[in-house]
C-alpha cells in the first residue's frame, strides 16, 4: 500500500513575501575571483580560476541553491563567504559589512557532521554557546529548544556513535541554529545519506526554514534536491566557475515534491547543464567521451537517464 506523507501545517508563503524583503541584500558578492596555483616547482606552476567575476545578491530569508558540475567553484563560494579563504579580486558583504574572516554569524554545515565524539548531543549543541559565554541554564534551554526542533530531544544524552547518519546531520543543523547565525551555509550536507533518509531531511529542513526564516545558501549536485528546497537556483558553469543562469522556483512551501512545475523546471535545468557535463567528461576522461544530446531528459517513468558514450 502506498504511504502518504503528511506535511506540517504551516501557512504557505505569499507570492510577494520575498519582494517585501528585497530592500538591501543580506549578502552581496561583487565581482569575486579566486585563483589557485597548481604545482610545486617554480617553472612548472600554473594557475587556474576556481571562480571568476562572480556576482550575486542574496536577500534576508531566502533559500538559495548553487548547482553545477564538479569543479565549478560551489564549495569555493561557500568557503569565501564563511571567511575560510579570501577572494583574490572583488568583495563580499554581509549586512553591509565586508567579510574579512570567519565568524559565528555564518555557520557552515559540511558533508561530514563534525560532531565531537566525546560529547553527548546536548553537550555538542552547547559547545559553541559556552564559547560565547552563555550561562549553563541558558545553554541548556537553547539546546533543548533545538533538539526538540529536529525531533531528537529524547536522544539528548546519547553520543554521536549511537546515531544514524541522518540523525547526526540533524544534530549538526541544531548546533548551527543554536548560536543564532545570520545565515546557514550548507555544503552538500545530505550527499552521503541514503535516498529515503534524504527525503526525510528535505521535509524537515523545509519545516525548520519556515519556522526560523534563516537565510540559507545550499550547495548541491542534485537538481531534484535544489528544486525541493530553494527559492532560486544558481546554475554554475565551470572553467572558470561562473553563473550561467538563475532560475526562480515560484512554488509554495512546504513543497509538494510531485508538483508538475518541478518536473518542468527539472527538464530546463538539466538541458542547461548538458554542455557543462561534456566539459567535465573531456577534462576527466578520454577525448571521445561525451554526453549525448538529450540524454539527461526526463524519461516516462520519471527517473533520470544519463547516457554516456563514444562518438556523436
| Residue that wins the pLDDT comparison between 239 and 138 | 138
**Predicted pLDDT at 287:** 62
Label residue 281 by pLDDT band (50, 70, 90): low
Q: What is the dihedral of CA 193, 196, 199, 201, to 10 degrees?
A: -50
**Predicted pLDDT at 22:** 53
**Predicted pLDDT at 290:** 61
| pLDDT cut 90: percent of the chain above it | 60
What is the rounded average pLDDT of the residues 21-47? 79
Residue 50 lies in a domain: yes
Residue 76 lies in a domain: yes
**Predicted pLDDT at 299:** 42
- Into how many domains does the chain fold? 1
Tell me the HSE value of 247 on the side-chain side, using a 13 A CA sphere: 27
What is the rounded average pLDDT of the residues 242-269? 90
Residue 171 pLDDT greater than 70, yes or no: yes
Each residue of 104-154: pLDDT tens digit? Answer: 899 999 988 889 999 999 999 999 999 999 999 999 999 999 999 999 999
Distance CA 46, CA 253 (A): 46
Residue 52 lies in a domain: yes
Label residue 285 by pLDDT band (50, 70, 90): low
Q: Which of 88-97, 135-144, 225-234, 261-270 has the lowest mean pLDDT?
A: 261-270
Residue 8 lies in a domain: no
Distance CA 5, CA 109 (A): 26
CATH number at residue 89: 3.40.50.300
What pTM was estimated for this model as a whole?
0.81
| Residue that wins the pLDDT comparison between 229 and 311 | 229
In SS3 terms, the chain reads as CCCCCCCCCCCCCCCCHHHHHCCCCCEEEEEEEEEEEECCCHHHCEEEEEEEEEEEEECCCCEEEEECCCCCCHHHHHHHHHCCCCCCEEEEEECCEECCCCCCCEEEECCCCCCCCCCCHHHHHHHHHHHCCCCHHHHHHHHHHHHHHCCCHHHCCCCHHHCCHHHHHHHHHHHHHHCCCCEEEEECCCCCCCHHHHHHHHHHHHHHHHHHCCEEEEEECCHHHHHHHCCEEEEEECCCEEEEEEEECCCCCCCCCCCHHHHHHHHHHHHHHHHHHHHHHHHHCCCCEEECCCCCCECCCCCECCCEEECC
| Residue that wins the pLDDT comparison between 92 and 256 | 92
Each residue of 187-198: pLDDT tens digit? Answer: 999 988 888 899
Residue 302 lies in a domain: yes
Domain holding 306, by residue range, is: 17-105+181-310
Residue 305 pLDDT greater than 80, yes or no: no
Q: Is 302 exposed, middle or buried (0-12, 13-18, 19+ CB in 10 A)?
A: exposed
What would you report as the CA-atom Rg of the chain, rounded to the nearest whole angstrom?
Answer: 21
What is the rounded average pLDDT of the residues 156-178? 95
Each residue of 3-25: pLDDT tens digit? Answer: 333 333 333 444 454 554 557 89
Residue 233 pLDDT greater than 90, yes or no: yes
| Residue that wins the pLDDT comparison between 32 and 272 | 32
Are the beta carbons of 222 and 235 closer than 8 angstroms?
Answer: no
Amino acid at each position: 500500500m502506498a504511504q502518504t506523507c503528511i506535511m506540517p501545517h504551516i501557512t504557505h508563503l505569499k507570492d510577494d513575501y520575498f519582494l517585501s524583503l528585497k530592500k538591501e541584500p543580506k549578502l552581496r558578492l561583487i565581482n569575486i575571483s579566486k585563483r589557485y596555483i597548481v604545482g610545486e616547482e617554480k617553472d612548472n606552476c600554473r594557475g587556474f580560476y576556481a571562480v571568476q567575476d562572480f556576482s550575486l545578491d542574496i536577500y534576508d530569508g531566502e533559500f538559495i541553491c548553487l548547482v553545477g558540475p564538479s569543479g565549478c567553484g560551489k564549495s569555493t563560494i561557500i568557503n569565501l563567504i564563511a571567511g575560510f579563504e579570501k577572494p583574490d579580486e572583488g568583495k563580499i558583504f554581509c549586512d553591509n559589512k565586508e567579510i574579512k574572516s570567519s565568524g559565528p554569524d555564518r555557520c557552515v554545515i559540511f558533508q561530514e557532521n563534525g560532531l565531537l565524539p566525546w560529547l553527548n548531543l546536548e553537550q555538542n549543541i552547547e559547545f559553541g554557546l559556552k564559547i560565547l559565554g552563555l550561562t549553563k541554564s541558558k545553554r541548556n534551554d537553547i539546546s533543548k529548544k533545538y533538539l526538540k526542533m529536529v525531533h531528537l530531544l529524547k536522544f539528548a544524552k546519547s553520543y554521536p556513535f549511537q546515531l544514524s547518519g541522518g540523525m547526526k546531520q540533524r544534530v549538526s543543523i541544531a548546533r548551527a541554529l543554536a548560536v543564532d547565525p545570520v545565515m546557514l551555509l550548507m555544503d552538500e550536507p545530505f550527499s552521503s545519506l541514503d535516498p529515503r533518509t534524504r527525503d526525510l531531511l528535505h521535509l524537515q529542513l523545509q519545516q525548520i526554514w519556515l519556522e526560523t526564516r534563516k537565510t540559507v545558501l545550499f550547495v548541491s549536485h542534485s537538481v531534484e534536491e535544489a528544486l525541493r528546497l530553494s527559492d532560486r537556483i544558481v546554475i554554475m558553469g565551470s572553467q572558470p566557475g561562473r553563473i550561467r543562469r538563475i532560475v526562480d522556483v515560484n512554488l509554495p512551501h512546504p513543497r509538494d515534491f510531485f508538483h508538475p512545475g518541478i518536473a518542468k523546471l527539472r527538464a530546463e535545468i538539466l538541458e542547461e547543464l548538458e554542455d557543462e557535463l561534456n566539459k567535465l567528461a573531456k577534462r576527466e576522461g578520454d577525448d571521445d567521451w561525451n554526453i549525448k544530446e538529450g540524454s539527461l531528459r526526463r524519461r516516462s517513468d520519471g527517473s533520470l537517464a544519463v547516457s554516456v558514450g563514444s562518438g556523436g
